[in-house]
Amino acid sequence: MKKCFVLFVTILLIIISNQAFAYSESFQFLIQTMEIDVQNPHGKKLNEDIYNKYSLFVYGTPLDGYSEQRFKTVQEGNCAKGIGVWNGAGERGEYWILGENNLGLEVHNHKFPVDIEPPTPPTQWRYAIISGAKESWQDQSKYMDDYQKEYMLNTNLMRNDISYDITAISIGLDKVRLENYATWKTKGSVYTQRYDMQNKRWAANFMVPPMAADAELDGYASFPNGREFVLDKDEISLTIPILFGAKMINLSDYARPEHVKSIKSELYIEGELVDVVEDSEKVEIGSNYIFVFDKTVSDEIVTIEVVVKSSLLTKFTTDSALVDIKKYSITIKGKNYIEKEPVNMVVDENNYIEEKTYINRVYDEKYAEYPENPPPYIESVTIKKDDDSNVFIAKNTGKRFVLAGQTIKLEVVAVNFPNSVTLEFEGDSSIYTFDKTTQRFEWEEPKSRRVNTLCPSLNEFKKMFSKVISFKKVKSYETKTIYTLTYVIPYETKQTLNSWNTLREESKDAFNIDERKLFSRIRNPYELVVKVRNANGADTKRVDLDVFERWDTLYNRDLTPYISK
């Protein structure tokens, strides 16, 4: 009996260990791209949670029994005492030791608070001349190019995550010793010494932010002929062009194409790698692929998964790979196909479906089989601002756009009495993600001013942000029904068009931007997919929608030169 118990506990511990280090798809892709071992010589596993919090590859956890381990309470700490990485519970703070590196050596936490902090800010310190400081900046083996060195010399220094209006140049190169150069994604560090009131010297380390802290790799696939197709019964072949690739966005002036060791995008169709595009010393790549579908689908539907896996490696050995995974689907229907739809559905005023019995019926174009109960179809989809005026159309693209943070109203006119009308989003998930900025502007601030909010409770407000959202029925006449939906575009929705804000980030000069680029395309517009259904069929309508800069950053901006009236 005792042996059985020991065996059970052992198995349980193995299961728990495997669950604790079950990696996400993107992290798995990252470590495979960089060919990083998932286990170090001491048998400790690579910790994805630590990587997400600190951008460090660490094995094990802070709770692995280190003799010199310390914990300090910090209001916005990344760890929880006795738990590990902070996930919303426990005493929040920072551990001195995060785990081990790939060689089994301890990894110390640069965010661990110092024991004694001087009463004056670093801008008022008296810095001491340090032996070897000037020489450290002359060692060319420590940096790759002059951009990297210029960045370290002229970027404001940080201490305890606070940036100060001082640089290595302003302090003096004989008083600042270089420890590590910053790279695209890792911080640089320098060492100084300061005098106190008794002329005693104290050591003080400073950090320099990464050269491209906000840069992201944006993989993509576009489909010039669309992603939904209908085949006649005699058609047995369909040619679908796919454009795919990747590009860096939000790059700083110091992050240069020549720093790129490899940028690569892989195209997978139904899990099979079908094409690869790869280059070096570039920040954008792309390729064309022709997918040939050769199957008869007279009365069925085929859904094909398309995945683009992109990665970028810099020439800086301390940089981790940037990775991005995008997933799409291609739908091919036979001419006579009708989706599986619920039968005998009971739908209340909130469009809640109670029945779950399904059929799959075939009907001809004239609905001869069901002359009195034909499938529904969408007559129109209208998008308006919350004041019922029309949304803007950009002259540059000819497409509708809204501002991040804007409240919009959608109206659908459907024919033949659908049982459900839903909205789905295709594009970056930020358009249906409830973020902190949205909560602050749309909930916390109105509540503090005792202003009515869109929803009666925060939980109801959060429910608005979903991959699939139901419309509410407003009224019916003859065979038509009107449905409406009010939606807040999240404040942190990724922009699809260049704005003053993105161009300022690009030029690093608020007073010198290339206004010719305003409303030029950053990425493909989002797609609003409206679906209507009843027992005998379904219909889908897609609407392109671009997202521009946040409304709260556009004070005193005149949009009229850029919009169609």
Tokens of 491: 């404040």
Gap between the Cα atoms of 246 and 308, Å rounded: 9
Identity (one letter) of the amino acid at 229?
F
Domains along the sequence of the chain with CATH: 2-108 (no CATH), 122-208 (no CATH), 216-250+258-337 (2.60.40.10), 338-565 (2.60.40.10)
Gap between the Cα atoms of 512 and 42, Å rounded: 54
Find residue 251's DSSP bridge partners.
Answer: none
- What is the gyration radius of the CA atoms in the chain, in angstroms? 29
> pLDDT tens string for the chain (565 positions)?
444 444 443 333 333 333 345 788 878 877 877 677 889 899 999 999 988 888 777 899 999 999 889 999 988 899 999 999 988 888 999 998 888 877 787 777 777 877 667 788 899 999 999 888 888 888 776 677 788 888 999 999 988 778 899 999 999 999 998 877 888 888 887 888 899 888 888 877 788 888 888 888 999 999 988 888 888 766 777 899 999 999 998 888 888 899 999 999 999 999 999 999 999 999 999 999 999 988 766 667 888 999 999 999 998 876 778 889 999 999 888 776 555 444 444 444 444 433 333 333 333 333 334 445 678 899 999 999 988 888 999 988 888 999 999 999 999 999 988 888 999 998 888 999 999 889 988 988 888 778 888 888 888 888 889 878 999 988 888 788 999 999 999 999 999 999 888 888 777 665 677 888 899 999 889 999 999 988 778 888 999 999 999 887 876 678 888 888 6
Of how many residues is the chain composed? 565
Relative to beta strand 400-404, strand 537-550 is parallel
Which residues, 6 or more positions from 411, have their beta carbon under 8 angstroms from its beta carbon? 380, 381, 382, 384, 482, 483, 484
Tokens of 476: 């019916």
Residue 509 is classified by DSSP as -
Find residue 310's DSSP bridge partners.
Answer: 265, 324
Find residue 421's DSSP bridge partners.
Answer: 532
Ranges of beta strands (E only) in 43-156 are 71-73, 79-80, 84-85, 92-95, 97-100, 106-108, 126-127
Distance between terminal CA atoms of the chain? Answer: 81
Relative to beta strand 228-231, strand 322-334 is parallel
Residue 364 is classified by DSSP as -
Question: For residue 420, which of 370, 380, 381, 473 has the smallest C-alpha distance?
Answer: 473
Tens digits of per-residue pLDDT, 307-324?
Answer: 999 999 998 876 778 889
Tokens of 131: 């032996």
Element (H, E) at 458: helix 458-463
Relative to beta strand 162-163, strand 158-159 is antiparallel
Q: Residues 431, 397: contact at Cβ < 8 Å?
A: no
Q: For residue 202, how many C-alpha atoms fall within 13 Å in the half-sphere facing its CB?
A: 15
Determine the 3-state secondary structure of 135 from DSSP: helix
Residue 437 is classified by DSSP as H
Gap between the Cα atoms of 275 and 288, Å rounded: 9
Which residues, 6 or more positions from 493, have their beta carbon under 8 angstroms from its beta carbon? 404, 428, 430, 431, 547
CA atoms 34, 37, 38, 42: torsion sign: negative
Gap between the Cα atoms of 412 and 485, Å rounded: 9
